[in-house]
Structure 1
Amino acid sequence: MPVPFVLASASPARKRLLAMAGIPVMVYPSDFDESQIQITDPGQLVQVLAEGKARSTMRDLFDRQAELPPGFFSTHPGLILGCDSVLAIHGEIHGKPKDPDEAIARWKMMRGNVGELFTGHAFLQPYTTEQGALMPYPPLVRTQVTQVYFADISDRQIEAYVATQEPMNCAGCFALEGRGGLFVEKLEGCHTNVIGLSLPLLRQMLAELGYDVTDFWA
């Protein structure tokens, strides 16, 4: 039986990546308040946010255990994965744009430039003590970085792209697997990292936790 796997993210792209890799997941988005975190280093920021999301979902699920497979917190602990991505251009961190005007301005700054897409990955293995207290094993947290080379696109292309609404819910203001892929010249590093999570890093992290990735295949 596959190990229970919870994705603490509402991202359809992350769920699709895991499904394509043969890993079925239960999706329980986190309600973690990202605004409370003020960190200027992008690698550290995504790690803190990813772990915060995983912990928030863990606490929520502990109160909703009836929705989970038996023994999720005890006999056969399941895994909870939290992720977060940001784009850094010239050291400045960018997340999702707050409105179309910001998205247009962002793209005018991004075009012809190289960005670094950081994605934090945080695994928790929660369990309960004999007294019923909720505890996690030590978290495993890692960051993957990919270099993104943006095309030098026109104002008209930028405005048309933002009008599709695609970039509005994307870290970095573009979706590689959608129309935004037309405006990326090349990548250096893991391409799935730009979509939402790094599958090679995921495999490595599962191995560090003592699993083979095939343990999760349905």
Structure 2
Amino acid sequence: MKGAGEPRRRPATIAVVRFVLASASPARLSVLRAAGIEPLVRVSGVDEDAVAAALTDPTPAELVTALARAKADAVAAEIAAAEPDAVVVGCDSMLRTAQGEVVGKPGTREAAAKRWADNAGSTGYLVTGHAVVRLTGGEVSERAQGHVSTAVRFGRPTEAELDAYLATGEPLHVAGGFTLEGFGGWFVEGVDGDPSSVLGISLPLTRRLLAEVGVGVVTLWNTPNAQ
């Protein structure tokens, strides 16, 4: 018997549906491809500031989940006619620093430099929200959402190392101002929790959310013996 706190799960279907990633993130795409899924990529164009402004004093988890849901809903509406049987996955991530600040992409070199000055030698928490929308016959039939938090232990790059990292441009355009799989990986001492969530898409969480909307993840794998 299921415990009262366990999420409702529908029987996983065998019918193959289209997996749609509502994100332009190369890291998320790379994670999915390495894990056996070749997604259709569509970028939502959601005004993230407007979504955030509509929330009243959200927690980090509530904020990233709301943003992920908005992205998934926007893309689902856009592709429903062309991809009537699909699952759309939206994602968003933010870093909760050791000082309690919640931050997204730095955007500028100056902001990224300050981010690293604040985070060096400390532990932050990357909070990643996911939302799944299932389309059946061109209509939304199921939704699921959730989040995961992973501790990130930052190293202490030297001034020369940090200048070189900032010069790559990489930290300006990623949540928290760092990556695990790129140049930033040299300066991350370790993670406690789900490493795939630090890359932008949590495979375990995505699997659970897909199950909630009736899709078994193995039916999406692009290998001949996956099912």
Aligned residue for 1:103? 112
Gaps of 5+ in 1: 129-133
- Which residue among 193, 200, 211 is the counterpart of 1:196? 200
Q: Percent identity?
A: 39
Runs of 4+ in 1 over 6 A off after TM superposition: none
Aligned residue for 2:43? 29
Amino acid at match of 1:16: S
Checking the alignment, whether the CA contact within 8 Å between 1:2 and 1:217 is kept in structure 2 is no
Deviation, 1:205, is 1.7
- Give SS of 2:36's match: coil
- Which residue among 72, 95, 101 is the counterpart of 1:92? 101
Checking the alignment, whether the CA contact within 8 Å between 1:40 and 1:93 is kept in structure 2 is no
- Deviation track 1:35-82 (CA, whole Å, cap 9, x = no partner) reads 1113541111000000000111122224xx3xx3xxx32xxx210000
Deviation, 1:156, is 2.2
- Give SS of 2:92's match: strand
1:81 aligns with 2:89: yes
Q: What is the number of equivalent residue pairs in this alignment?
A: 203
Query: TM-score normalized by structure 1?
Result: 0.88
1:186 aligns with 2:190: yes
Cα distance between partner residues in 1 of 2:119 and 2:72: 30
Cα RMSD (Å) of the superposition? 1.6
Cα distance between partner residues in 2 of 1:126 and 1:3: 9
- Give SS of 1:9's match: coil
- Which residue among 114, 120, 127 is the counterpart of 2:129? 120
1:55 aligns with 2:73: yes
- Cα separation, partners in 2 of 1:59 and 1:209, compared to 1, 3 Å: closer
Deviation, 1:203, is 1.6
- Give SS of 2:176's match: coil
Checking the alignment, whether the CA contact within 8 Å between 2:143 and 2:213 is kept in structure 1 is no
- Give SS of 2:177's match: coil
Cα distance between partner residues in 1 of 2:90 and 2:202: 12
Checking the alignment, whether the CA contact within 8 Å between 2:112 and 2:172 is kept in structure 1 is yes
1:10 aligns with 2:19: no
Checking the alignment, whether the CA contact within 8 Å between 1:175 and 1:181 is kept in structure 2 is yes
